[in-house]
Amino acid sequence: MRQPYNYNHQVHQSQRSAFAALFLVLLPIFFPNLFAPLGRASPSLFSEWNAPKPRHLSLLEVALHWKTPIKQVFDLWSPLPNQGWKPCIDSADTPSLPERSQGYIQVFLDGGLNQQRMGICDAVAVAKILNATLVIPHLEVNPVWQDSSSFTDIFDVDHFINVLRDEVSIVKELPTEYSWSSREYYATGIRATRIKTAPVHASADWYLENVLPVMQSYGIAAISPFSHRLAFDKLPVEIQHLRCKVNFEALAFVPRIILIGETLVNRLRDPSGKLQASGTAVLRERTDDTEKGRAGKFVVLHLRFDKDMAAHSACDFGGGKAEKLALAKYRQVLWQGRVLNSQFTDHELRNQGRCPLTPEEIGLLLTALGFNNNTHLYLASHKVYGGEARISTLRAMFPLMEDKKSLASAIELAEVEGKASLMAAVDYYVSLKSDIFISASPGNMHNALLGHRAYLNLKTIRPNMLLLGPLFLNKTIEWSEFQHAVINGHKNRQGQMRLRKEKQSIYTYPAPDCMCRA
């Protein structure tokens, strides 16, 4: 007797589903502004969601079925040998903490997590130069991600203060008599205690001549903007050691980030961990003796391919006219046309290695290097331009690819979900613990991890962009030629120690400033 009811219910359900689908299709037509990033940057709802066809089909067809030679797999996963360097950040002649502070120093840091991390290190160094007391740095709200996470949300503040207690005086907040010196105070007018003229890569003398007098007059000085405001060269050895001590020892993540990071690392290292259904059959077919030598190992790929990156590069990513128009409009809204790359053609940019690697291209690079479809690959990324559709080709090559959301439950990620800085901190932690780290394109996270992993003598692969650009432009290149060029072009780009040159970042190249010959 209940069959007609069920049948009618199913009919009504189908009708509702059809109307919902029709509504979704018509919605952008009647309400276009809802689907235009920043109000007017995208001409089509689906322009970035429609994944373009593979641009390197002949290479891809081989890569999907490529069986990596055993020796290549062994060499790839072997840890770096001892390179004759060791961490060296404690000095016997380090000046002790002065009995009396000259005043308080505040800094306001913008940018993403890794840019702020470097700014924190510089802030401690400036406080040391001035014999000042540093107030825990204020992290500005990121205009892109709208993340208001504070220093104490990300870093263990007690650990930070304790590690540096013998070298720099640090306080969590200002005493009552200086409580007026706030971010809001400096946002409402010109203030005598704010220094906003600090040049990029300023010398120690600049701070002594321009900031110290303000601090001595008012008891406090606030420096904003502050990112990249301390030189990398011509500084005392103890200041260089201090910057590295902050970066590699004092800046530890809060326990909740470490807990989530360890959870992800353990699940990546567990050979009996969860496998995607699409990869299980492949595993049964392709498992061989080479896997025994790397059981429990994983590689982290920082896929730096978000919409800002794609737009700012001014490169063509195969999405046709709709994509070009969408990115051009997005570029105009964000940077008002001030993008140098837009003056060059796509061919010129690629030939110069100035285009970020697409998920398809980074997959081809990984395969040529020796990673296969049994590789446990962790994807460290913010928001991929084009979403899942764009990375489907990469997933086809690496079916065991995971990320935060596939490895952890919603409950486990609840404390960091929707907070870009905390999510980035989790990715940083997992990246630092990985056997191999590779970033698809240079950037702040790439630079920070390159330095941190060099400090720990861990393998990090740096894509040779000048090589890869012309290779991917060659539409007739065969797999054997492509792979040979990739292997030869990356032999000395897998974590070999590179000494810092003048003007280069101490956080990217820690030797010789922060390391000694073993």
Place of tokens 């032999």: 491
275 pLDDT more than 70: no
How far is the C-alpha of 439 from the C-alpha of 304, rounded, in Å? 7
Give residue limits of the domains in the chain.
57-83+255-270+296-517, 104-249
pLDDT at 50: 64
pLDDT greater than 70 at residue 32: no
Tell me if 355 sits within 8 A of 315, measured CB to CB: yes
Q: Closest Cα partner for 438 from 351, 507, 370?
A: 370
Short-list 268, 333, 140, CA closest to 325: 333
pLDDT at 443: 86
Q: How many residues does the chain have?
A: 518
Instruction: Count, in order, helices (H) and strands (E) of the chain.
Output: 23, 13
**Higher pLDDT, residue 217 or 227:** 217
**Tokens 């290479």 sit on residue:** 59
For residue 306, what are its two tokens? Answer: 């978000």
State yes or no: pLDDT of 165 exceeds 50: yes
CB 506 within 8 A of CB 237: no
pLDDT for the residue 38: 37
User: Is residue 360 over pLDDT 80?
Assistant: yes
Distance, C-alpha 233 to centroid of its chain = 25
What are the angstrom distances between the C-alpha of 142 and each of 132, 156, 313, 419, 420?
28, 21, 21, 10, 9
- Binned at pLDDT 50, 70 and 90, residue 278 comes out as very low
Query: Would you say residue 104 has pLDDT above 90?
Result: yes
Instruction: Please tell me the distance from the alpha carbon of residue 230 to that of residue 109, in angstroms, as a whole number.
Output: 13
Residues contacting residue 59 through CB under 8 Å, at least 6 positions apart: 364, 477, 479, 482
Grouping H, G, I as helix, E, B as strand and the rest as coil, residue 437 is strand
- Flag whether pLDDT at 20 surpasses 90: no
- pLDDT digit string, tens, across residues 410-431: 999 999 998 999 999 999 999 9
pLDDT of 243 above 50: yes
pLDDT score recorded for residue 144? 67
> What does the block give as tokens for 146?
């709208």
What single letter denotes the amino acid at residue 12? H
Query: In whole angstroms, what is the distance from residue 204 CA to residue 233 CA?
Result: 10
Residue 492, classed as helix, strand or coil, is coil
Helix or strand run (H / E) with residue 195: strand 194-195
Q: Does residue 41 contact residue 324 with C-beta atoms inside 8 Å?
A: no
Query: Lowest-pLDDT range, 52-56, 65-69, 107-111, 380-384?
Result: 380-384
Our CA angle for 337, 340, 346, nearest 5°, is 100
Residue 415 CB-density burial (10 A; 0-12 exposed, 13-18 middle, 19+ buried): middle
What pLDDT sits at residue 276? 39
Contact indicator for 467, 489 with CB cutoff of 8 Å: yes
**pLDDT (tens digit, 9 = 90+) per residue, 53-79?**
899 999 999 999 999 999 999 999 999
Per-residue pLDDT for 43 more than 70?
no
- In whole numbers, what is the pLDDT of the chain averaged over residues? 86
The most confident of 93-102, 182-191, 277-286, by mean pLDDT: 182-191
* Torsion sign, CA atoms 168, 169, 173, 177: negative
Q: Write out the two tokens for 517.
A: 């010959």
Average pLDDT of span 462-490: 97
Query: Strand 85-87 and strand 515-517: pairing?
Result: antiparallel
Beta partners for residue 139, in sequence order: 109
CA distance 463 to 513: 25
92, pLDDT greater than 90: no
Backbone angles phi, psi at 393, to 5 degrees: -65, -40
pLDDT score of 98: 76
- Token couple for 444: 């702040």
Residue 314 · residue 342 · CB < 8 Å: yes
For every residue of 86-125, DSSP letters joined together read EE----TTPPPPPSS---EEEEEE-SSHHHHHHHHHHHHH
H or E stretch covering 330 = helix 320-335
Which tens digits make up the pLDDT trace of 303-331? Answer: 988 888 888 889 999 888 888 888 989 88
- pTM score: 0.86
Comparing CA positions, the residue from 253, 37, 227 lying closest to residue 140 is 227
Q: How far apart are CA 334 and CA 320, in angstroms?
A: 21
pLDDT tier for residue 141 given thresholds of 50, 70 and 90: confident
